[in-house]
Structure 1
Amino acid sequence: MWTRFGLVLFCLLLLSGCGHSFHSGKIQKVGLLVPETINDQVWGTKGYRGLLKIQSRFNADVFYKESMDSVTEVEQAVEEFQQKGVNLIFGHGNEYAEYFNRLSEKYPEIHFVSFNGDAKKKNTTSLNFEAYSMGFFGGMVAGHMTKTGKVSILAAYEWQPEIEGFYEGAIFQNKNVEVDIRYVGHWDHDQRAIEIFDEAVNEGADVIYPAGDGYNVPIIERTKEKGLYVIGYISDQSDLGESTVLTSTVQHVDELYELAAERFDAGNLDSGNLSFDFQDGVITLGKFSPKVDPEFRKALNKQIKEYKKTGRLPNQ
């Protein structure tokens, strides 16, 4: 899951120091393991779309398995994929890094790719999103748009780097804003998320950042009912209500899948932990609501462009 957005080892993708090259040759067949479902319209769906992009781009047979959330299930799935001739497997979450580290030596002909984990073997790679920066720019939008002076983050877990980024961005944009952080304690506890949403709104919050891919859609719907604002999470969620969703902090997981497959097919997908950010085109802000004034949008886009060029956020 959104471990998915865990603490990462920062290293530039193109530097050889990021890991050891694992020259395995061309893509044969590709497998995908997801911890829950490909039909959640957020994280799992994006992984599946990435798999389909690989299928189309490389004319490769692809396979996927859902609800892969235990050692036994993952071991059985990898064995099944190996028998089918799969030589590139994506595990759609950070939990798969540990599984793949254990299994990789048994299957040296397969390259294992996880997300936001710690890949330790020569045929394992972890793709890590630099989530702090997306949170920072999303927080700037919240700080600019709040009318009550109070913004609330509904985080899944305390360690999410986008949470700290959002907080810092909101404060940078509006020194008088109060940023309230509350924790759901899970990626998918809709009811708990709604309960703390109601608490936050009752205490005056008018811009909400639901930073959990399993509960952000119900929170957006509830925000819409209240006539308040929200910053979308993971996907561009403007289609859920352009007057409600000010923008979204978007991670283009599907494009990162394709990028990793391209490098693997060329024999230069590094092992170890690789980091990706705005500069790589796989993190962006989503479509802006017409509620966000054009002058602010223009200024923010300029700051994002400068960040992509220099690697320095506006407060640095």
Structure 2
Amino acid sequence: MVKRLGLILIITIFISGCGQPATSGHLKKVGLLVPETISDQVWGTKGYKGLLKIQSKFQVDVFYKEGMDNEAAVSLAVKEFQDKGVNLVFGHGSEYGPFFNSISGDFPDMHFVFFNGDAKEDNITSLSFESHAMGFFGGMAAGKMTETNKVGILAAFEWQPEINGFYEGAAFQNKNVDVEIRYVQHWDDINTAMSLLNELIEEGADIIYPAGDGYNIPVIEELKDKGLYAIGYISDQSDMGEGTVLTSTVQHVDTLYEVVAQRFSEKELESGNLYFDFQDGVIDMGDFSPLVEDEFRKNLQEHVKTYKSTGKLPNQL
């Protein structure tokens, strides 16, 4: 991932009179802060697409700033947003929790949204994907498709729910599978990720789950070069090679942005910590590789359907 170390830009995007917009209601203008870039083709890009969905649906001005990775920069950016009439601000990551909890009292007419944290003030909402289940289904696919009975998880952090889910899913599908886990301790540290990837490969892992949005693309490219396999992460990454990416665990971040904006426009967005899963239409499995046999694919899709209706994973039935 390319880090923006130089000039930080703010870009205004607005389209007027295109189609019939949804009523914007309480929603006036929207701002987006990203810690790195919107051009990473995974997490940052998802946030940007979500911003564009809001702009298109509600016909409101939207703004974004890249490289927002410290409280001073965030505070200055939010002040600029305020001057432009923004009343809904998305911080695209967990790092914005402490920043927003600290500064939100200075902006009582704005509502702040971030991911995977603890919202402590009345004008802050934290969004979390309930990602244990998606990890479980990704693990099932890996457990089924491994030829060495060794699969690897290349996680960013220990707290990611999808990691335990993947481990449980692989073990449920394949009693003989050995799941090795390595932690990068950063979303974007490509060098560390690649070093840990080599360890997993040397230990015989033939399928890797690169659960970090900043490094999963180079990891998948390396796996492709070595004739190994991946379970994609965050985006449907089947376009990186149907002979490499067996399926993906997909988080529809852009759809969640639209859901949040709709609730805010109707004055129904709750403060505090909110959680979203398959049942909310914001998590799903991606396309399956032709290498995955139809019978297993259909079986897995039935398990997903059951989970959506009952909230129970296959090992809970």
TM-score by length of 1: 0.91
Residue 129 of structure 1: CA displacement? 0.3
Residue 100 of structure 1: CA displacement? 1.3
Which residue matches 1:182?
Answer: 182
In 2, the alpha carbon distance for the partners of 1:90 and 1:203 equals: 41
What whole-Å deviation, never above 9, does each CA across 1:82-132 have from its counterpart, x for those lacking one? 000000000001111221122222111111111111111111101110011
Which residue matches 1:111?
Answer: 111
In 2, the alpha carbon distance for the partners of 1:271 and 1:190 equals: 35
- Unpaired stretches in structure 1, ≥5 consecutive residues: 1-23
In 2, the alpha carbon distance for the partners of 1:146 and 1:275 equals: 32
In 1, the alpha carbon distance for the partners of 2:81 and 2:217 equals: 33
In 1, the alpha carbon distance for the partners of 2:309 and 2:297 equals: 18
Residue 25 of structure 1: CA displacement? 5.4
Deviates more, 1:189-198 or 1:249-258: 189-198
In 2, the alpha carbon distance for the partners of 1:33 and 1:185 equals: 22
Residue 199 of structure 1: CA displacement? 1.6
Which residue matches 1:93?
Answer: 93
Which residue matches 1:298?
Answer: 298
**RCO higher in structure (CA 8 A, sep ≥6):** 1
Which residue matches 2:197?
Answer: 197
What whole-Å deviation, never above 9, does each CA across 1:168-222 have from its counterpart, x for those lacking one? 0000010110000111121111122111111211211111111111110001001
Which residue matches 1:248?
Answer: 248
Residue 224 of structure 1: CA displacement? 0.5
Which residue matches 1:53?
Answer: 53
In 2, the alpha carbon distance for the partners of 1:185 and 1:87 equals: 33
Aligned residue pairs, count: 293
In 1, the alpha carbon distance for the partners of 2:33 and 2:121 equals: 19
In 2, the alpha carbon distance for the partners of 1:100 and 1:202 equals: 43
Which residue matches 2:80?
Answer: 80
Deviates more, 1:92-101 or 1:267-276: 92-101
Residue 308 of structure 1: CA displacement? 0.5
> Are positions 1:137 and 2:137 aligned together?
yes
What whole-Å deviation, never above 9, does each CA across 1:142-164 have from its counterpart, x for those lacking one? 00000110001111111111111
Counterpart amino acid of residue 170 in structure 1? A
> Are positions 1:173 and 2:166 aligned together?
no
Deviates more, 1:123-132 or 1:194-203: 194-203
- Unpaired stretches in structure 2, ≥5 consecutive residues: 1-23
In 2, the alpha carbon distance for the partners of 1:76 and 1:208 equals: 40
Residue 31 of structure 1: CA displacement? 0.2
Counterpart amino acid of residue 195 in structure 1? S
In 2, the alpha carbon distance for the partners of 1:115 and 1:184 equals: 20
In 2, the alpha carbon distance for the partners of 1:223 and 1:71 equals: 37
Query: Secondary structure of 2:191's match?
Result: helix
In 2, the alpha carbon distance for the partners of 1:266 and 1:191 equals: 45
TM-score by length of 2: 0.91
Counterpart amino acid of residue 174 in structure 2? N
Counterpart amino acid of residue 88 in structure 1? L
Query: Secondary structure of 2:314's match?
Result: coil
Query: Pairwise CA RMSD of aligned residues?
Result: 1.0
Which residue matches 1:283?
Answer: 283
Counterpart amino acid of residue 99 in structure 1? F
Query: Secondary structure of 2:147's match?
Result: coil
Counterpart amino acid of residue 157 in structure 2? Y
Residue 241 of structure 1: CA displacement? 0.3
In 1, the alpha carbon distance for the partners of 2:280 and 2:25 equals: 24
What whole-Å deviation, never above 9, does each CA across 1:239-283 have from its counterpart, x for those lacking one? 000110000111100000000000100110111100000000100
Which residue matches 1:160?
Answer: 160
In 2, the alpha carbon distance for the partners of 1:83 and 1:176 equals: 60
In 2, the alpha carbon distance for the partners of 1:79 and 1:189 equals: 31
Counterpart amino acid of residue 273 in structure 1? N
In 1, the alpha carbon distance for the partners of 2:38 and 2:126 equals: 20
In 1, the alpha carbon distance for the partners of 2:95 and 2:193 equals: 23
